[in-house]
């Protein structure tokens, strides 16, 4: 197996955190559909989370494509790393609004905790992605010698 450079390893770990965030979102859906709080709209909340899952899956597939392209060539996709990092922070903050909304529901504390954990995974993945942006490519350094 090919040895991965440090920035490629960080990218793969960030993709893993993003995948964990998606899995946590999927786990939350049955809990939301069983919400019996007054004035609750569980179907609307479930639809919103499904949209968030679809958006995260699109970001995840784009991220995997960028990682593969970076591994194949020495050209680094700087704009893509920053774009993905900012998008993940943005969608994580939007998703955090839903997590705060479920804090007030009596028997739904586990949903809020899972949603906050998913937001944490998004933020960790985005910070790692932005760190990769600032790391120098070791392929380019070894090729110049």
Q: Over the stretch 86-135, which tens digit does the pLDDT of each residue have?
A: 999 999 899 898 888 888 877 788 888 999 999 999 999 999 988 888 87
Nearest-angstrom CA–CA distance, 81 and 128: 10
Whose CA is closest to 77, among 92, 60, 59, 63? 63
Judged on CB neighbours under 10 Å (0-12, 13-18, 19+), 134 is: exposed
Q: Are 52 and 83 in contact, with CB atoms under 8 Å apart?
A: no
Spans of all domains in the chain:
6-144
How would residue 71 be classed by pLDDT, with cut points 50, 70 and 90? confident
């Amino acid at each position: 197996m090919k040895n991965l450079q440090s920035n490629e390893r960080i990218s793969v770990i960030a993709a893993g955190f993003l995948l964990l965030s998606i899995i946590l979102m999927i786990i939350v859906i049955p809990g939301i559909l069983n919400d019996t709080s007054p004035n609750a709209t569980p179907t609307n909340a479930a639809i919103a989370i499904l949209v968030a899952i679809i958006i995260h899956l699109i970001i995840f597939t784009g991220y995997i494509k960028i990682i593969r392209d970076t591994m194949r060539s020495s050209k680094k996709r700087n704009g893509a790393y920053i774009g993905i990092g900012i998008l993940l922070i943005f969608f994580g903050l939007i998703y955090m609004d839903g997590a705060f909304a479920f804090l007030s529901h009596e028997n739904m504390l586990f949903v809020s905790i899972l949603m906050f954990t998913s937001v944490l995974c998004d933020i960790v993945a985005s910070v790692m992605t932005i760190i990769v942006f600032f790391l120098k490519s070791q392929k380019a350094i070894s090729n110049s010698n």
